[in-house]
Amino acid sequence: MKLTEHFQYGLNSPICLTWELTYACNLACVHCLSSSGRRDPRELSTAECKAVIDELQRMQVFYVNVGGGEPTVRPDFWELLDYAVEHDVGVKFSTNGVKLDPARARRLAGTDYVDVQISLDGATAPVNDAVRGPGSYATAMRALENLASAGFGQPKISVVMTRQNVEQLDEFKAIADKFGAQLRITRLRPSGRGADVWDELHPTAEQQRQLYDWLVARGADVLTGDSFFHLSAYGSALPGLNLCGAGRVVCLIDPVGDVYACPFAIHENFLAGNVRSPGGFASVWRDSELFAELREPQTGGACRSCGHYDACQGGCMAAKFFTGLPLDGPDPECVRGLGEQALAARTPSTAIPRSDVDHSRSAPRNSRSAVALTLAPPPRRPDRACDASPLAGMPSYP
Ligand code: SF4
Ligand code: SF4
């Protein structure tokens, strides 16, 4: 069996596990996939987080993507980071940089098995701050400077591609090069508060093509995860995870311990269980009915007859779900324009699901319009198979 087929049917442990440690955040990004802002009083305690790390170690989960909210605003964040590293669970954490002062940067530079990803959604302050809030560009730049001065080896700069920043791809690359960082670009999905702004902010069809061409020409060392496999339908397959791995190789543990099929699918339909239940995370991952269903062979539905299906696989489940499109039909950003047609064919009675998990401090929901902002190389590195290529670092199967 080919390795990609192993992925389709699920693995004993997730290789792309995201763990959101808190819903608290100092920012209020308009497209936040988890609608973060306020801490949830039910969030896992320090002891419960350590128990989850113990379990991940037993399951041989080699690294975890830690996010939030803003994970570093948890007072026990640094303690949990050290605990994970001591227990052979590498950590790549996403941050807006608010806590990365020179001292923290030096400490991180001296810690193996930790990777840092700074979020930046504009190569200039006006473009970034329109999405992430006033002052957030300066905060991210300061954090990158502190990491560079401390000698931290190759942090990541993570960019959500929007209609406003596709034109800045070369500038993002230049910023990454300047700080000795690696660029990671991801897709804007209509998840969380992203649902409110997706219509206005997701790249146009022309920009999708521009993005694809840029990745083909300049993207050799740019990370994309599973963001753009639907664009492979334009021609050659892009590097990255070329399938929807939800529930198969991908999943999310949210701050209250709920386990979802994917970080972009925080909705009861994709809720598989909770790490606090008997058997913990391992039992949810291995035994949940939802994950068993997602690991079944997919029919491809309306996309099956498309000549691009092998490359595109019908696109992203979450993008379809949160735009009210059938899960077995085209992606809303289908390169053949079939998604746009399906979106246009929706009627006022079409049900467009929304997550009922919302910790926004003050967010108008269902506004469907952009909202104004209210802000105030170590020896061992984490395996980043899901970022670079599903085959990276994995054994080959006959
Ligand atoms: S639903 Fe979309 S974001 Fe989630 S694993 Fe599938 S392709 Fe990736
Ligand atoms: S019809 Fe489906 S498989 Fe074909 S390009 Fe569009 S989304 Fe992809």
For a ligand 2 pocket test, name from 244, 304, 320, 338 the mutation site with the most ligand atoms within 8 angstroms of its C-beta.
Answer: 338
Span between the terminal Cα atoms of the chain, in Å:
7
Dihedral of alpha carbons 287, 259, 226, 341, sign: positive
pLDDT of residue 237: 80
Q: What is the pLDDT of residue 299?
A: 82
CA distances from 380 to 137, 181, 219 (A): 30, 18, 25
Report the distance separating Cα 81 and Cα 113, nearest Å.
10
Name residue 293's amino acid. E
Dump strand ranges (E) for the chain. Answer: 16-20, 63-67, 90-95, 114-119, 156-161, 182-187, 250-253, 258-260, 271-274
Instruction: Say what the pLDDT of residue 74 is.
Output: 97
What pLDDT is attached to residue 394?
34
Q: What is the pLDDT of residue 390?
A: 31
Q: How far is CA 29 from the centre of its chain?
A: 15
Ligand 1 center to 34 CA (angstroms) = 14
Pocket of ligand 1, beta carbon within 6 A:
226, 244-246, 250, 262, 264-265, 316-318
Q: Do the strands 90-95 and 271-274 form a parallel or antiparallel pair, or are they unpaired?
A: unpaired
Protein residues with CB under 6 Å of any ligand 2 atom? 230, 233, 303, 306, 308-309, 312, 314-315, 330-331, 334-336, 338
Spell out the per-residue pLDDT of the chain, length 398, in tens: 555 555 555 678 898 999 999 999 999 999 999 999 999 999 999 999 999 999 999 999 999 999 999 999 999 999 999 999 999 999 999 999 999 999 999 999 999 999 999 999 999 999 999 999 999 999 999 999 999 999 999 999 999 999 999 999 999 999 999 999 999 999 999 999 999 999 999 999 999 999 999 999 999 999 999 999 999 999 888 877 788 999 999 999 999 999 999 999 999 999 999 999 999 999 999 999 999 999 998 888 899 999 999 889 999 999 999 999 999 999 999 999 999 999 999 999 999 999 989 999 875 444 433 333 333 333 344 444 455 433 333 333 22
Beta bridge mates, 250: 16, 246
Residue 379 CA to ligand 1 center (angstroms) comes to 31
Neighbours of 157 (CB within 10 A): 23
Quick one: how many helices (H) and strands (E) in the chain? 15, 9
- Residue closest by Cα to atom 4 of ligand 1: 262
| pLDDT, position 5 | 57
> What is the sign of the dihedral through the CA atoms of 238, 244, 248 and 252?
positive
